[in-house]
Amino acid sequence: MTKWRSPHKPGHWRAPQVWLHRLPVLLRTVGITMLLLQMLSLPLSPTLRRHGTDADFVDAHNTEWEVSEEDLQNLSLLHESCVTDTNAVLPWQYGAPGHHRPNGVATNPHEVIHENDPDLLQKLRQCPDVDIFLPIGLHGNGYCEDAVAYAKYLKSRLLPLWALEVKLFDPEVGHEVDYYNLYPTTPMIFFQHYWDGVPSSPRWPDQKPVYLMPNIEMVELTPEHYWRVDVVLCKIKVCCFLDGLKEAMPDAAKWARDWDFFQG
């Protein structure tokens, strides 16, 4: 086998395969550098301004956006219920303004729905514009903080898995129904990759949209997750940039081709 002398260590011999192993690293470095150079030129493109200017983003120091004491109390009560009553349906109405005492106690605990509720069908019929799936394993402080904010300001509710699977007799139609019968077109928000196989269920209607709320740094989120969903809810300013990127550089941003970006 032919060998060659290293220029760095006289007298030391290396097989050419060692340098071949470094070639992919070099190619990736060159590719990333070229991509970054192209990206730096993108702000000059009008496609990056499709969603508007910086004025569209909330200024954290603007007092007009401060949350009222009543709403803070509502969020606090929702959060408390989320982390303690982990297997219940939690609607935004729980502890809403006008429904809590000064000592921080909600006056409408009946709004929280449990599987043994005698009025379960009637309560589940109250259809919001969008539902939020929060499996029992995500009821920690962090996910509950995000989830109850979505529930409150979207006037939605947090749904555990049983609420999607339970079958109830509906006297109006004369047979059993489930969540998918009641809400065949209502979008559902999922956090990260914690889907619990719900959108893959044979009961999931084809016309029911899937919304994804990702933390984009999570390695568990694959391109397939993004391609599977109808809408990606994005809370950071870079999403506006990426939306322009997919139009200006489609070959370099194929992974974003089906994304709809919402600025939050």
User: CA 131, CA 189: separation in Å to the nearest integer?
Assistant: 6
Give 191: exposed, middle or buried? Use CB within 10 Å, 0-12, 13-18, 19+. Answer: buried
Asked whether the beta carbons of 220 and 206 are under 8 A apart, the reply is no
32 and 133 both lie in a single domain: no
Q: Which two tokens stand for residue 7?
A: 């220029």
In the prediction, which pLDDT does 60 show? 54
Which domain range does residue 95 map to?
58-236
In Å, what is the CA distance from 146 to each residue of 138, 139, 181? 11, 11, 28
141 and 27 both lie in a single domain: no
Residue at 62 is within a domain: yes
| pLDDT less than 50: residues of the chain | 1-13, 39, 42-55, 251-264
How much is the pTM? 0.70
In the prediction, which pLDDT does 210 show? 96
Q: With CA atoms as reference, report the closest residue to 89 among 122, 121, 111.
A: 111
18 and 103 both lie in a single domain: no
In the prediction, which pLDDT does 234 show? 76
In the prediction, which pLDDT does 222 show? 87
114 and 197 both lie in a single domain: yes
173 and 93 both lie in a single domain: yes
101 and 131 both lie in a single domain: yes
- At 162, give phi and psi (nearest 5°): -60, -30
Residue at 208 is within a domain: yes
Asked whether the beta carbons of 230 and 187 are under 8 A apart, the reply is yes
DSSP 28-93: HHHHHHHHHHHHHTGGGSGGGGTT--GGGSPPTT-GGGPPPHHHHHHHHHHHHHHHHSTTSBEETT
In the prediction, which pLDDT does 219 show? 84
SS3 label, residue 211: strand
In the prediction, which pLDDT does 20 show? 58
27 and 126 both lie in a single domain: no
Residue at 48 is within a domain: no
User: CA 103, CA 158: separation in Å to the nearest integer?
Assistant: 25
In the prediction, which pLDDT does 141 show? 95
User: CA 195, CA 198: separation in Å to the nearest integer?
Assistant: 6
Number of domains the chain is built from? 2
In the prediction, which pLDDT does 261 show? 38
